[in-house]
Amino acid sequence: MSGKAILKEIWEWIVIFGAAFILVALLNTAVFSTTQVRQTSMQDTLMEGQHLLVGKISYVFGEPSRGDIIVFLENRYPENYFDKVRIFITDVGDIFKPAERKTHVRMVKRIVGIPGDEVDIHDGKVFVNGRELEEEYVKGVTFQREQPLPIKLKESEYFVLGDNREVSKDSRTFGTVKRSQIEGKAVFRFWPLSVFGSLK
């Protein structure tokens, strides 16, 4: 094989690998992403160390619903297209970094209140619009914390809680989550294989 042929073949492999990397990067940040559960705040629904598939397309054609398990940016509020592009570029650069070294911190919680809802907590239970919320997934007792309640959720505001109520840092502590923070819906557990399956 001539030198030119070898160089051509090397170049073709570079192009193939480059295209594959770009495709994976786009899919991993624009259509879906993966995240690892790093706390105990969602037990027993999600356990520390489990890996989740996050559907980002879920909220392109619809809005987050009460009961959804969502992934959102902590302390980041992308307000326009350019903010989202900057986050996208950073995420691409972070693909191969371990979770603890990634630039953007993400949280996993469950939505209990959507825009227009009034949320209150008393007697160890959650009340939405005056009615007790049925929560078969809850672990522990739900105590009120720093945030004053009841709260009437404004447009684009969501009230989120962890399922493991006695240890979870959530809207009782840091307040509501804005729509612009929400990246997607946790739809699937893929690791470890013993818990492989969709989330409800």
Q: Which of 41, 58, 168, 171 is catalytic?
A: 41
**Half-sphere exposure of residue 67: CA atoms within 13 angstroms, side-chain side:** 7
Domain that residue 16 falls in: 3-198
Domain holding 138: CATH number? 2.10.109.10
Distance from C-alpha of 35 to C-alpha of 186, rounded to nearest angstrom? 9
Q: Is 41 a catalytic residue?
A: yes
* pLDDT, tens digit, 9 for 90 and up, residues 153-163: 999 999 999 99
Pick the catalytic residue from 33, 56, 58, 109.
Answer: 109
Q: What is the pLDDT of residues 53-100, one digit of tens each?
A: 888 888 888 899 999 999 998 766 666 666 666 766 676 666 666 666
Residue 152 pLDDT level (bands cut at 50, 70, 90): very high
Catalytic residue check, 109 = yes
Domain count of the fold of the chain: 1
Residue 101, pLDDT score: 67
pLDDT digits (tens, 9 = 90+) for 95-124: 666 666 665 668 999 999 999 999 999 999
